[in-house]
Amino acid sequence: MRLPALLAHPDPVAAQIASCAGACVAAGGTLTPAEREWLAVAVAALRHRIHDGDLWRADRVACFRTRDLLIVARHIRDADREPDAQPAVPATQ
**What Cα–Cα distance (Å) separates residue 81 from each residue in 33, 34, 70, 86?**
12, 15, 17, 14
This prediction has a pTM of 0.79
Query: Which pLDDT tens digit goes with each residue over 71-91?
Result: 999 999 999 876 553 444 444
Using CA atoms of 74, 11, 34, 68 in order, give the dihedral in degrees to the nearest 10: 0
Query: Which pLDDT tens digit goes with each residue over 26-64?
Result: 998 899 999 999 999 999 999 998 887 788 888 888 899
